[in-house]
């Protein structure tokens, strides 16, 4: 499996995570998820491998969160549908490796799965 960094270059934490991977010489591919949104299947696979509460994957302070009808009790199907419709809601950065998936908040957390 190729390491994949789900990245938004406008996000400082995402840029920090990318710089950290580059500094460590990690081989990875960058997925600009705002330009190439994840499908329902891709999101479901990511969620399955994520060892965090489902809500950690969603940016709850964005206006789209309310527009999507999300709340802290939203189930997986509702969250996936919202992330497909509003890719901006996906928390970033996210690193996926053969060892798992981590949200880089703080960015150093991605090192746990290298």
**Res 111: pLDDT:** 96
Are residues 58 and 79 in contact, defined by beta-carbon separation less than 8 angstroms? yes
pLDDT tens for the chain, 114 residues long, are: 799 999 999 999 999 999 999 999 999 999 999 999 999 999 999 999 998 999 999 999 999 999 999 999 999 999 999 999 999 999 999 999 999 999 999 999 999 999
The β-bridge partners of 103 are 94
Are residues 98 and 1 in contact, defined by beta-carbon separation less than 8 angstroms? yes
CATH number corresponding to 4-113: 3.40.30.10
Are residues 83 and 38 in contact, defined by beta-carbon separation less than 8 angstroms? yes
Query: Annotated catalytic residue: which of 11, 47, 78, 114?
Result: 11
**Res 1: pLDDT:** 75
11 is catalytic: yes
30 is written with which tokens?
Answer: 């960058």
**Res 28: pLDDT:** 98
Cis peptide before 93 (omega within 30 of 0): yes
């Amino acid at each position: 499996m190729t390491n994949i960094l789900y990245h938004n270059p406008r996000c400082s934490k995402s840029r920090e995570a990318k710089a950290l991977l580059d500094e460590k010489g990690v081989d990875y591919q960058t997925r600009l998820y705002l330009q190439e949104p994840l499908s329902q299947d891709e999101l479901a696979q990511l969620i399955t491998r994520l060892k965090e509460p489902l809500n950690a994957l969603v940016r709850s302070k964005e206006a789209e969160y309310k527009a999507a009808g999300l709340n802290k009790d939203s189930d997986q199907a509702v969250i996936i549908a919202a992330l497909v419709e509003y890719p901006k809601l996906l928390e970033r950065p996210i690193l996926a490796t053969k060892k798992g998936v981590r949200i880089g908040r703080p960015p150093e957390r991605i090192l746990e799965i290298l």
